[in-house]
Amino acid sequence: MEEGIQKGRFIMISRRKFALIVSAIVLFSVLAGGTIGLFAQSRSFDQINFQLRIFTTAFKQVLDRYVTAPDPQKLIYGAIKGMMETLDPHSVFMDAKTFRDLKSSTQGSFGGIGIQIGVRDEVLTVIAPMAGTPASRMGIQAGDRILKIEGKSTKGITSDEAVGKLRGEPGSNVTITIEREGVSELMDYTITRALIEIESIPYYGFIADKIGYVWLANFSQKSGPDLTRALQDLEKQGMKQLILDLRSNPGGLLHEAVEVSSNFLDNGSLVVFTRGRLKESDQDYKASGKVLFGSNKGPVVVLVNQGSASASEIVAGALQDWDRALVLGQTSFGKGSVQNVMPLGDSIAIKLTTAKYYTPSGRCIHRDNSAWQSGETDSLEVDTTTATREVHTTLGGLKRKVYGGGGITPDIKVDLPRLTRFQMDLERKTIFFKFAIKYAVGHSDLPKDLKADEAMVEEFVKLLKEDKIEYTPEEYKESKDYIKQGIKRELLSKLYGDKARTAYLLQNDAQAQKAVELLQKNKDLSKLLKEGQNGK
């Protein structure tokens, strides 16, 4: 602070220059909302003019009387930032650095830790870790609350500001302090940044006989073409049923969500529509193109969880509304608002919420903060009691009940088991990863069907002692199977790559295996969907 004052210099502003600044403020106020006339739909011109006079008076008083001469640009930027903060967590002011970061992220690669974040109940929250990234490997989970970045509180931070702090040069470290539901103490994670290159489909293959599986991790410019290739390849190999995994998919490009949905829905079917304050915000988006796995093909199960957001919710909602797929898992995140980036010159911009997404049946995907149940349930879990939810009807002919009120409610809810304190410690300290690196040095010939035997476990226990991992005999006993699974998964990743790791994880995935069970039992789509309705 002292350094800033020392560098400050007294700034004399003439009445003419001040008038120009005030005119710019008024002009911005008009342009940001469209026109004063549009504002007047809810407030009179006199009211708005009165409020602007209050602002310009305050601005002049600060310029004239503050103890040191302030920078007018900083005052204006601060005022715009404060204005945006009164709206919603997704509407933000972007300074030159933040605006550059946004542009670079749309190009498909950046230096970071690999998480999608947002503000929930005024707390910076992990929406989802990205597959194969440092954050994912260290065990960061959807719903984790980031209370500090490099020891500094995140209270009041915007998601864009947090992104700026988390990104950096590959190879550099950043420390975040996590609060996790069900864990009493805070946890520090020191994560080494890497070049994050987003892979749209990290894995696809067969999870059971004639049941294909596609893991769609995000929505980028490659999502539509990548899914087309995956579906064509699986069908050539005899696929009759499909599991589309959208869990922890933070979303991405809208037109890719429409293209992905078009693989399953008849041409002309409504995929999503947006509604906002201005007529130009009202848009309908419909399926078009070649239908690769339409209603004449086999049943589809879509997997979602609390980390499924935005574009992934659009796809899940569309396929559910048109009776094309059964949705299984946990209620999705509820990020269903539309943001437009509006440049304010060459280097700065505002990102403004202009509309909300609705599924074909009319369900609003977005969940307002007031809908979250703080302290009563998981940070990303909401009340799904049907008695309190909006009821809509599917459009595909079965007239099933689907529920609105924010997020996509699954037809069949399947929760995953919680990790114990000891198990979370193993993940956040990357003990399995460290063990695989050391053990693979002398055992590079291990087969893909390897088993974590007692000799491996003994070596693993030695590493626990070396790294001073604390645990009780009871914690070790109840985690023995988990340890064996962790050893195998990381050895497979080290020796055979992430695809082998994913294939193994699916064998022990409660949600994926429930989907397999339902598909094996119900070869007919209508029977599958009716079972889902009964399973609510």
Instruction: Say how far apart CA 228 and CA 44 lie, in whole Å.
Output: 53
Name the token pair of 33.
């909302």
In the chain, the N- to C-terminal Cα span, in Å, equals 58
Assess whether pLDDT exceeds 90 at residue 345: no
pLDDT tens digits, 424-466: 999 988 899 889 988 988 888 999 999 999 999 999 999 999 9
> Does residue 91 have an active-site annotation?
no
Assess whether pLDDT exceeds 70 at residue 97: yes
Residue of 223, 261, 335, 379 marked active site: 335
Assess whether pLDDT exceeds 80 at residue 30: no
pLDDT value at position 19?
47
- The band of 283, judged by pLDDT with boundaries at 50, 70 and 90, is very high
pLDDT tens digits, 201-260: 999 999 999 999 999 998 888 899 999 999 999 999 999 999 999 999 988 889 999 999
Assess whether pLDDT exceeds 60 at residue 20: no
> Between the ranges 416-420, 490-494, 513-517, where is the mean pLDDT highest?
513-517
Assess whether pLDDT exceeds 90 at residue 34: no
**DSSP class of 244:** E
Q: What is the mean pLDDT of residues 325-344?
A: 93
- The band of 276, judged by pLDDT with boundaries at 50, 70 and 90, is very high
Q: Are strands 145-149 and 152-153 parallel, antiparallel or unpaired?
A: antiparallel
Question: Where do you find CATH 2.30.42.10 in the chain?
Answer: 96-197
Mean pLDDT of the chain, nearest integer: 85
Q: Are strands 300-304 and 326-329 parallel, antiparallel or unpaired?
A: parallel
pLDDT tens digits, 58-69: 999 999 999 999
Question: Where do you find CATH 3.90.226.10 in the chain?
Answer: 203-339+354-415+512-534
Q: Could you tell me which residues come within 8 angstroms of residue 468 by beta carbon, excluding any fewer than 6 positions away?
A: none
> Does residue 335 have an active-site annotation?
yes
With contact defined as beta carbons under 8 Å apart, do 133 and 114 qualify?
yes
Instruction: Say how far apart CA 214 and CA 219 lie, in whole Å.
Output: 13
Class of domain 203-339+354-415+512-534 (CATH, top level): alpha beta
> Does residue 310 have an active-site annotation?
yes
- The band of 372, judged by pLDDT with boundaries at 50, 70 and 90, is very low
pLDDT value at position 9?
31
Residues pairing with 215 in the sheet: 203, 245
Residue in the block written with tokens 């962790």 = 486
With contact defined as beta carbons under 8 Å apart, do 374 and 389 qualify?
no
Q: Could you tell me which residues come within 8 angstroms of residue 130 by beta carbon, excluding any fewer than 6 positions away?
A: 114, 115, 116, 136, 196, 198, 217, 218, 250
Class of domain 96-197 (CATH, top level): mainly beta
Residue of 200, 223, 262, 310 marked active site: 310
pTM of the model: 0.77
Instruction: Say how far apart CA 75 and CA 80 lie, in whole Å.
Output: 9
Residue of 95, 321, 323, 509 marked active site: 321
**DSSP class of 479:** T
CA 349 to chain centroid: 23
Among 145, 185, 141, 179, CA closest to 162: 145
